[in-house]
Structure 1
Amino acid sequence: MEEDILDLYKDPNTEEENNSSDEDGGLYEHLHITVDKKQEPLRIDKFLLLHRQNSTRNKISQSCRAGNVVVNGTPVKQNYKVKPGDEISILLAHPPRENVIIPEDIPINIVYEDDDLVVVDKAAGMVVHPGFGNWSGTLVNALAFHFEKNGQKSDLDRVGLVHRIDKDTSGLLVIAKTEYALSFLARQFFERTTKRLYWAFVWGNIEEEEGTVRGHIGRHLKNRMQMAVYEDGSHGKHAVTHYKVLERFRYMTWIQCKLETGRTHQIRAHMKHIGHTLFNDERYEGHTILRGVNLPKYKQFVQNVFNILPRHALHAHTLGFVHPTTKKEMYFESPMPDDMTKAVEKWRNYLENNG
């Protein structure tokens, strides 16, 4: 399980010091933020959730109740609304772990960039942000190098992840370069006004041309590496996924997914729940070959496709949002990556010859 960000690394959007505050309690400042002049009123728990990647609302609420969240020198409750110019600090009893984002010369596909944001088409296999077990080789390390190379040193500590995709998911991400852009874009994700479509290959032949999966998503009660669906709402958070069939391969289906909510592993968990696990999704048993298929050398064929596509078949295909400064709508499309394209071609050829 991931540890809270407050204990692991320096936030890229803040200034952080390792000094004990004073003798009273020996508290250490883990976070210091000066609220942007353009910031709209927002509850401090929601504000900090945007600025503390990997943190949780519960952890932030606990810090507020303990009196460890201080605004302009005074502890505040979690419903306090931040205002432009507020000085926010988080004080904890142990010294923070020192971790600076180290620029690394890693190739990345930047499809758009201006003074406010960067849109990246992430390759499968790349972790998005440094964290427990992945302190280097991430997208953020690569962006830090890109900013430095282009004389944007002032932006090295202002990389703001608005959203994330899994390590083995490919496709589009938007990264904010200022605190204002981060808040503006994050609000669109929170209010579900962004335009995002995913492409996925799933096992089996989905009967309907399109449909909707509803069910709370939360941590699996036995397998803590998985998320599970709880239709009765007993665990997890409300989640809705809309899907549409794009092409059928008899024993595998290419679908398009639109998320009404944005829960961890939402597509992966929802599709497994309805019996159509993502193709080659090892964590959710999608690397098990579909049984009951009577075709020549079928198992060997699927294994060959696994070799071509050695990860779960999920791609963030489109991304649309309103620009924080121009207020104009922006829309991006990412073509299907080579591994998924080759897998499709191989399925088509196999069925044409063995249909």
Structure 2
Amino acid sequence: GEVLLVLARSEPEVTDGRGLSCLLVEKGPKVKVRRLEHKLGINGSPTCEIFFDHAPAKLIGQRQRGLITYVMSLMNGARLGIAAQSLGIGEAACRAARDYALTRKQFGVAIDQLPAVRDLLVDMSVDLQAARALTYHAAFCVDLERGLERRLEAKLDRDPEAARNVRNESRKYKNVNKILTPMAKYFASEMSMRVSNSAMAVLGGSGYMKDYPVERLVRDSRITTIYEGTSQLQVVAAIGGVMNGGLAEIVGEVLGARDWPAAVAPLAAQVREGLAALEAAVAYVKERPDSNTYRDLYARKLVDLAIDLLVGALFCGQAAAGERKLAVARRWIGERLPQVRALKERVCSGETLTLTDFEALAVQPSTAD
């Protein structure tokens, strides 16, 4: 490219993120590509190490606002972008596995007739549809936030009360998206790894060969859980919304006070029962004297529990519109509600062996005697 947007430390005395500024560096003799990285996957997108030899740069925006303001403002789009990439990988893996299972014969029948293979294919499909539902809902809410912000900037509402309502809605969706976008990125990227690995299981030895696309999908999926924030960082970003009740409110709004079709009503009731389990788990964590440490220890389980419920609520809404989605909702809720209860029991167990017995449980360092 002709220009680079660089995040660099402009304040040497400030060691945290507040010392970073956004700089524009133009192509020239002072900017060199030192080497191309040799990567596991996404080899169609070169990654390189760039060397700046006292290259001139122009400040973009204000000093010290590079990370905390400018980069963070891009996070919603970045998270959704990786979630969408993950959906593409998962879709390709599902299709490759389904097509192979339809044509590969074993014991005189196509392997998609074998119950174990069918179960694997169904799990892959439902997992993919869950990630798609969560990502689309997050994207919908981000669109609403941006639309409301533009409405405020354009000052379209002359009535003070109407303008106040729009401002409150904008703040609401800003808070909602702080929960939904890291959840979408986390769940969709982990889904792409699960589904591509399952596709390789369906193809067996053939999937391990470069003759089929599945080995590439397995490699490409791994990066989605890493860049634009690892899965662990997405959990850190989302856990606050789980603990403060924001996620429960989102699930409640998705379910609403609607009259569900007779076939869907029992499923919606199960999701509401799951919300009680989430609330109990959150209350237990808050009541502990070591609340912050314990929350960090069980953050991933709490976020997983919350995602299971939100996806269940989204599937209920889809099931009200069609028979095929009713089957998906039944499968998801039937599989995940027992997991919700198990996660709640685990969070409320009080077990902290990871912290108290780490050295005994973890692999010893290779340098240890």
Larger radius of gyration: 2
More strand by share: 1
Same fold (TM over 0.5): no
TM-score bracket, shorter-length normalisation? under 0.3
Give the TM-score taking structure 2 as reference length. 0.20
More helix by share: 2
Give the TM-score taking structure 1 as reference length. 0.21
